[in-house]
Every structure is written in structure tokens, then in C-alpha cells.
Amino acid sequence: MQITIVGAGLSGAVAGRTLAEAGHHVTIHDSRPHVAGNCHTERCDETGVMVHLYGPHIFHTGDAEVWDYVNRFTTFRPYRHQVKTTVQGAVYAMPIGLHTINQFFGKTFRPEEARQFIEEHEADLSITDPQSFEEQALRFVGPRLYEAFFKGYTEKQWGMSPKALPASILKRLPLRFDYNDNYFAHAFQGMPENGYTPMVEGILDHPNIDLHLGSALDAASAGTGDHLIWTGPLDAYYGGRFGALGYRTLDFERFTSTGDWQGCAVMNYGDPDVPFTRITEHKHFAPWEEHEGTVLYREVSRACEAGDIPYYPIRLTGEMAMLAQYEALAEAEENVTFLGRLGRYAYMDMDVTIRAALDVSRGLAQRFE
């Protein structure tokens, strides 16, 4: 069969490879001049640093098959993601753990003492069923830690009060009562030795795949094969029939320096009067490399407008009602499959993206036998 795929990011590449290996001819189009979508990486000509051009992507998973899959196409080097945050004139480790609790409150708690202190003196136990981000945070850590570490950062990231955001956003972040400052707890963690783009190029390197970069397709021009896999925005496929689904986008202010500018890969800024949410220093994402120069980006989050790159789906009540209308149209399609964070209007980590692409494309391969 002839399969057309719109998008050469992780979803399109993995689905295309699976179907190509099953004997189908796959044509992939991407409007950008490179593969890998938002996890695209490239070397800085000035410093030699490997840069995550659309913001840092950290590979972490508990899915052994997904880990084995990406290791087919590149060499992963050990990497443990550690995040710091500057707030109220001090630097703390994130997520909140025993060190941050002791530092913030000026204590020397042991783990059980810290747990008891938070539960008995900080957490708002009157909140039994948190509905909003703010309620979840107050029940989770109490008002003082919430005000310092979550409120200002969240307002900047999402452009709205935490009272208006769902509790599920905060539930992804752990609260620890030990000194473990690794951001992720998955069994498999690492960074591709030469960046994500060569990895995706490897996935796409198959004789049954024809790749066309700088080639933008809309719904009408994409539907020329036997089946279409669409990884672009779901609402765009239908011409925005019910309105535009809401996203947050990012503006990046790039700057360079020499040596080690901030001492870590990611420094968050929680104070509301600091306009950016974080600074990323990209040499730290490849700690096995040595570079005299360094490349950094300040990130500012704002509402996504026409022509912007959509990063984070908002998924509030209005968007979810609109999404249901688009999903009803998508479910009625016989020869179109929607994949990826844009095609499904969902925030998806890389491993979840790959797992979904594998499962869906394997199902299609069986269907097309």
C-alpha cells in the first residue's frame, strides 16, 4: 500500500519505519527543512555545543521496548537530569525534596520528620478532593512552598491563575522525602550521543521511505495515497471548523558566553517579576563533551498565535469541548490516522510518543495485510 505521512518528527518517523518494514511504500512530508520535529538538535557553529533548537528534550522511560528501539538507531550516553530553581534570592533543587525542604525552612529534618512537618504544619488537609492546580499544591505542600515554587512559575508558564488550571498538571511532579535530586525516576535515562536528529534520520533510513522536507501538505493535498497518517494539528486538518485549539508557545532569547555560565542544564526562575521561566545551558545536556564556549536560552511562555510553533496544549474546559467535536470527526475517518501531540492534542513525552506510534502503526500493518 501507499502510505502518506505528514510530519517527520518522532511519531511520523516511527510509524513510517514500522510500515516500511512491513513492506509498504511510505512517503513522508514535513514543512520544516529538517527531521525530528521539536526534538531537532544541531551543532552551534560558534561553540561546537550540541543545541536543542526548540528547547531541551530529555529521554527517560520505563518502557524497555521503547528504550531498545531508540538504541537501534543511535548510541545513548548516561545522563541524569537535575533542575535547580532560583526564587526569593536563593537557589534550590527541584522537584521539592528533603534538601529543599530543610533549606527553605532552615531545618535539619530526617525524612520522616519532614513528612510529618509538611503533613501537620503546611499541607491544607481541609482540601480532600483537589480540583485546581492551586488546590492540589496547597494540599500537596502548603501555602509557603506553593507561593515560592509553584505560583509565580505557573502563572508565567500558562498565562493564567493556577486556580484556573486542572490539578492533573501538578500531579506529574513528585514530592520526595530524601536527598535524591534526579528529576526523573525512570529506569532508562540518557541522551543520544550525537543528538536526536541523527537518531530520527536513522529511523527514516529505509528503502521504502521517501522523505520530502520543506514540503507542506494540507488535508486536501495529503490524501493522495491509500492511507494518511497526520501528525500535524488536529484542528488544522479540518480547517479550524470548530475554532482553534489553544496552545502555549515559547520565545527563546539565545546568548553565548565562555566557560560554565550557570553550572547546570536548567535553572528555573519562580519569582513572578522575572519575565522568563528558565534558562537552559546546552553544554550540560552532553556532559561527556568539553567546550570552551557555551550556548544558553532564556525561555518566555506566551499564548500561541497564528504562525507560532505550538508547544503545550492548554486543555481547559473550552478546548476539551472543542476537542470532542474534532475527535468525533477523526473517529469517523476510515483512511486517516491521527498521531502525536498535535494530532491528538495531548502533552506527550518522547517515550509515550514512540510507544503510541509503534502500537498504532503495528495495528495498521496488520490491518493492511
Which of 155, 201, 271, 349 does the annotation list as catalytic?
A: 349
Which of 205, 241, 347, 359 does the annotation list as catalytic?
A: 347
172 catalytic? Reply is yes
Burial (0-12, 13-18, 19+ Cβ within 10 Å), 356: buried
Helical spans, DSSP H, in 126-177 = 133-140, 143-145, 152-158, 168-171
Which of 176, 315, 341, 355 does the annotation list as catalytic?
A: 176
Residue 209 phi/psi, 5-degree rounding, is: -110, 125
Which of 129, 172, 367, 369 does the annotation list as catalytic?
A: 172
Q: In whole angstroms, give the CA distance from residue 213 to residue 343.
A: 19
Which of 17, 278, 315, 344 does the annotation list as catalytic?
A: 278
| Cα angle 173-339-1, degrees, rounded to a multiple of 5 | 155
248 catalytic? Reply is yes
Which of 248, 315, 341, 355 does the annotation list as catalytic?
A: 248
Residue 292 phi/psi, 5-degree rounding, is: -75, -40
Contacts of 113 by beta carbon, 8 Å cutoff, 6+ apart: 107
Tens digit of each residue's pLDDT, the chain (369 residues): 999 999 999 999 999 999 999 999 999 999 999 999 999 999 999 999 999 999 999 999 999 999 999 999 999 999 999 999 999 999 999 999 999 999 999 999 999 999 999 999 999 999 999 999 999 999 999 999 999 999 999 999 999 999 999 888 887 678 999 999 999 999 999 999 999 999 999 999 999 999 999 998 888 887 778 999 999 999 999 999 999 999 999 999 999 999 999 999 999 999 999 999 999 999 999 999 999 999 999 999 999 999 999 999 998 888 999 999 999 999 999 999 999 999 999 999 999 999 999 999 999 999 998
Q: pTM of this prediction?
A: 0.95
Torsion over CA: 342, 345, 347, 352 (sign): negative
Contact between 10 and 357 (Cβ < 8 Å): yes
Q: In whole angstroms, give the CA distance from residue 23 to residue 209.
A: 10
73-113 pLDDT, tens per residue?
999 999 999 999 999 999 999 999 999 999 999 999 999 99
Domains and CATH numbers, the chain: 2-80+187-246+307-367 (3.40.50.720), 83-171 (no CATH)
200-243 pLDDT, tens per residue?
999 999 999 999 999 988 888 877 789 999 999 999 999 999 99
Q: In whole angstroms, give the CA distance from residue 70 to residue 72.
A: 5
80 catalytic? Reply is no
